[in-house]
Amino acid sequence: MLNKASTLANGAVRAERQLERATEAQGAYTDRGSSLEAGAPFSVSVREAHEDALWGGGDRVCSPVAITRENPTNDVQKEIDRFDRVMGWRPLKDLLQPRHPFFKGKEAYLEGFAVYRRPDAGNWLVWPRIAGPRGGRMPLGNPYRLRRISRSHTARKIKALFAVADTYKIRLRLAHIVTTCPEPVSEWAVVKVSRRQVMWKELGRPYLDGLEDILGPGLGADTNYHTWSSACPLKPHSHFHNLVANLRVVESDLLDEDDQPAYTMEEVPWHRQRGGKDVPLTDEQLVNAKKLWWRLLAAFVKKHRIDWDPGTEEEGWKGVDVWVEPRDTKASMMGTINYVGRNPLEDFAVYSNAHLDCSDPPVWLLKYSNKSRPFGWWRSLKFLAGSQKAEREKLHPLTGEKLDYLGKYSLRELLDRNHGQLGFLDIVKGRPVFSTFRWFELDWLRSVVKSRSPPW
């Protein structure tokens, strides 16, 4: 039971329970919607697809359903368990030592691996341990280091969210709602650092307030405002990543110690598509969400005299970019939290590796801090989750279960244990991508070991 004196009252005062029957919402997910239908083929677009991009050839991509605690004997799990596997191989290759001149002097090196194991599993999951060159400190601008920092709180955030959902016996699910600004607004937003706060106050926060009128009051959400495009980080591309939980705060029938109505939580219902997929918004709710975003944009460009034609109220909303992705597994939630919280230099490193002649990142990108902004009861997430163990935990990237720590090992020790054949495991959109290293990939790993770093 929630106390009324807590900080949860945002949007939750006098909220009435509304029983919403399941509604078919086929086609409610514009642009990317068809790929979310049950049974649709799995596809991933470059970088924007979510978390990591597919690369190489012959790597196995499997459904996350294939590797869960409830199904540990699946053939996919057996295949993964054949070798010890390096976690996050693709970002390690892309970000540890980027090739663009901007990153000269910011290279990091492989010091070894932190080894973990699933309970009752034979193989190891190993995470790279990185360091600066011999005799030097860790470069502050190394994008792989920045990636590690941006992802350091994901496990604790997931643990807290599930603790809240379990308290009220609700299956946790997140709606990933992305609202994109037109190009003139994106260019306006990066002229001055102070305009980022203006974007949040006049577009980001009001959108969440309006979303409560659509989905009901008492929502909890976490928002990251991005100013750049993953496809080309040098180009301004303002958009908001909103993670909206399927829990809302409502007044209960009980009274607190001051004889005032206490608060509790109830589930925000999702809706079943014809293909059998549960989605956060119905067709009508998605239309209302797009109209809300259009109204905010129209008022914003008028107030700040930005040259963008929003169109008429009857037709203009159809041209704005709002799309929704359901996140209903722990793996997909962890991946999305990691993705929206990434440092912009990660994207620049990937982009510049393929465009070595591109310019250095602009000042507005270098000075950007991609912090999340909690909304509603999410602001009290730690309070709601209660006391949590303070020790750091490593969670399985697919099942979310706690892993056992075994110690630190070198690359040579891992290769000896696996008779020279080592595997990797990456997560793409909550799905496992795994294979064994080819000879030239192992050569690259050997080349970045700290013992081979300068000074010679």
Could you tell me if residue 19 is inside a domain?
no
Q: What pLDDT score was predicted for residue 433?
A: 86
Q: What pLDDT score was predicted for residue 139?
A: 81
Could you tell me if residue 108 is inside a domain?
yes
Q: What is the DSSP letter of 2?
A: B
CA 36, CA 89: separation in Å to the nearest integer?
27
Could you tell me if residue 9 is inside a domain?
no
pLDDT tens string 160-187: 999 999 999 999 999 999 999 999 999 9
DSSP collapsed to 3 states, 101-129: HHHCCCCCEEEEEEEEECCCCCCCEEEEE
Domain that holds residue 340: 33-452
DSSP collapsed to 3 states, 351-374: HHHHCCCCCCCCHHHHCCCCCEEE
Could you tell me if residue 16 is inside a domain?
no
Could you tell me if residue 2 is inside a domain?
no
pLDDT tens string 76-117: 777 888 889 999 999 999 999 999 999 998 999 999 999 999
Q: What is the per-residue burial (b if ≥16 Cβ within 10 Å, else e) of 50-84?
A: bbbbbeeeebeebebebbbeeeeeeebbebbbebb
Could you tell me if residue 413 is inside a domain?
yes
Q: Which residues of the chain have pLDDT under 50?
A: 4-73, 455-456
CA 393, CA 404: separation in Å to the nearest integer?
9
Instruction: Report if pTM > 0.75.
Output: yes
Q: Is 159 helix (H, G, I), strand (E, B) or coil?
A: helix
Q: What pLDDT score was predicted for residue 378?
A: 96
Could you tell me if residue 84 is inside a domain?
yes
The count of structural domains within the chain is 1
**Are the beta carbons of 134 and 452 closer than 8 angstroms?**
no
Could you tell me if residue 263 is inside a domain?
yes
Q: Please state, as a whole number, how many other Cβ atoms lie within 10 Å of the Cβ of residue 309.
A: 11
